[in-house]
């Protein structure tokens, strides 16, 4: 009887451990909780848009943290992230995606929690933001009123709209131009989000951000590689001195061989200052030429693609659901 009770006790402990592990794997511990149940397991707070009426914005240049109404903050994001000349429906899609991205960051743990901020104004870290005063100053005087009215409308006409997957705000990444095909998040950061998959987009080649080139001398390439890899060596006389070893499903470079070093496409983009990882490379005479398609990491919504879809008659909800799979949009 005692052995049987011990076995039952061990099974009970095992069940509790498995339940805790399930929590850790399938829920971000930074998500808001409403306490614990009678077994001590965290109960996660259901998403409610009304909980996110204000945000704390870190101004990276000054270190100041400013509290703003969420939708007023979004005026600055949309006007910084997307040209006001884009179609109204593309601007609305950007507003909803930026709102979703902001709320996701708050719910899942801000990088700037140590300074009391929810998000910062730097696009290299979070998403871009610009004050109304500075934005207006950068536009031609005769277009300021029209442009700002479009920005306000994109936010005001979509208030309450948040992109959800299984009832939760998504990590709604976006970028400038996908070069014709977006990328899976798995190939960029390693996080496999089911709603961030490969999507083909037509019309992006009509934008200046679609195509670019970077030309380096042999010495410049060697220096850039040495800055990161001390033991780097290269024999330019070899036919395989620089070679793409592997591409992702979307046609981006996954692995690039440079001399005696294999690097990821993401590292190549950073080292050689390329606009995206969707590139070909050619060694010719004394120069190395990178021919690049697209601008940005390629994950999620393409801003140029959104504008192209809007020109084809798609509304903002159709645009969002085109780029993020199996999502819903809250009202």
- What pLDDT, in 10s, does the model give residues 152-183? 999 999 999 999 999 999 999 999 999 999 99
Is the pLDDT at 269 greater than 80, yes or no?
yes
Is the pLDDT at 255 greater than 80, yes or no?
yes
Is the pLDDT at 28 greater than 80, yes or no?
no
DSSP label at 329? E
DSSP label at 141? G
Question: Higher-confidence residue: 11 or 237?
Answer: 237
Question: Higher-confidence residue: 83 or 109?
Answer: 83
What pLDDT score does 189 carry? 85
What is the C-alpha separation between 99 and 102, in angstroms, rounded? 5
Beta bridge partners of 295: 177
Q: How far is CA 124 from CA 38, 81, 197, 297, in A?
A: 43, 12, 22, 11
Is the pLDDT at 33 greater than 90, yes or no?
no
φ, ψ of residue 57 to 5 degrees: the values are: -105, 125
Q: How far is CA 66 from CA 70, 106, 124, 255, in A?
A: 12, 15, 19, 42
What is the C-alpha separation between 178 and 294, in angstroms, rounded? 5
Among 40-44, 61-65, 197-201, name the one with the lowest average pLDDT. Answer: 40-44
Sign of CA dihedral 189, 190, 192, 197: positive
Q: Each residue of 217-227: b (16+ CB within 10 Å) or e?
A: eeeebbebbee
DSSP label at 110? -
The set of residues, in sequence order, having a beta carbon less than 8 Å from that of 263 and lying 6+ positions away, is 255, 256, 271
Q: Report the helix count and the strand count for the chain, using DSSP H and E.
A: 9, 16
Average pLDDT over residues 10-37: 42
φ, ψ of residue 39 to 5 degrees: the values are: -100, 5
Is the pLDDT at 2 greater than 60, yes or no?
no
Distance of CA 294 to the CA centre of its chain: 15
Is the pLDDT at 134 greater than 90, yes or no?
yes
CB 97 within 8 A of CB 163: yes
Model confidence, pTM: 0.85
What is the C-alpha separation between 30 and 256, in angstroms, rounded? 36
Cα–Cα nearest to 245, from 226, 235, 259, 230? 259
């Amino acid at each position: 009887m005692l052995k049987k009770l011990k076995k039952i006790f061990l099974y009970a402990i095992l069940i509790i451990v498995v339940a805790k592990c399930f929590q850790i794997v399938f829920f971000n511990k930074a998500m808001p909780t409403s306490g614990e149940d009678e077994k001590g397991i965290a109960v996660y707070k259901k998403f409610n848009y009304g909980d996110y009426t204000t945000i704390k914005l870190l101004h990276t240049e000054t270190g100041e943290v400013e509290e703003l109404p969420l939708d007023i903050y979004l005026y600055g994001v949309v006007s910084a992230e997307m040209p006001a000349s884009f179609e109204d429906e593309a601007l609305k899609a950007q507003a909803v995606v930026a709102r979703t991205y902001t709320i996701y960051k708050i719910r899942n743990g801000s990088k700037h929690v140590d300074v009391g901020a929810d998000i910062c104004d730097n696009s290299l870290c979070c998403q871009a933001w610009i004050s109304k005063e500075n934005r207006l100053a950068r536009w031609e005087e005769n277009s300021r009123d029209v442009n700002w009215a479009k920005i306000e409308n994109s936010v005001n006409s979509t208030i309450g709209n948040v992109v959800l997957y299984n009832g939760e705000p998504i990590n709604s990444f976006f970028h400038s131009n996908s070069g014709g095909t977006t990328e899976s998040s798995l190939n960029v950061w390693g996080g496999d989000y089911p709603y961030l998959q490969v999507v083909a987009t037509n019309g992006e080649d009509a934008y200046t951000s679609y195509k670019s080139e970077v030309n380096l001398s042999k010495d410049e390439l060697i220096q850039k590689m040495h800055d990161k890899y001390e033991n780097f060596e290269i024999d330019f006389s070899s036919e395989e001195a620089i070679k793409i070893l592997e591409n992702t499903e979307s046609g981006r470079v996954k692995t690039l061989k440079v001399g005696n070093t294999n690097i990821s496409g993401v590292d190549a983009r950073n080292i050689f200052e390329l606009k995206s990882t969707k590139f070909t490379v050619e060694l010719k005479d004394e120069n190395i030429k990178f021919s690049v398609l697209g601008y940005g990491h390629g994950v999620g919504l393409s801003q140029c693609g959104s504008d192209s879809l809007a020109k084809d008659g798609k509304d903002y909800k159709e645009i969002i659901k085109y780029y993020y799979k199996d999502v819903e949009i809250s009202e």
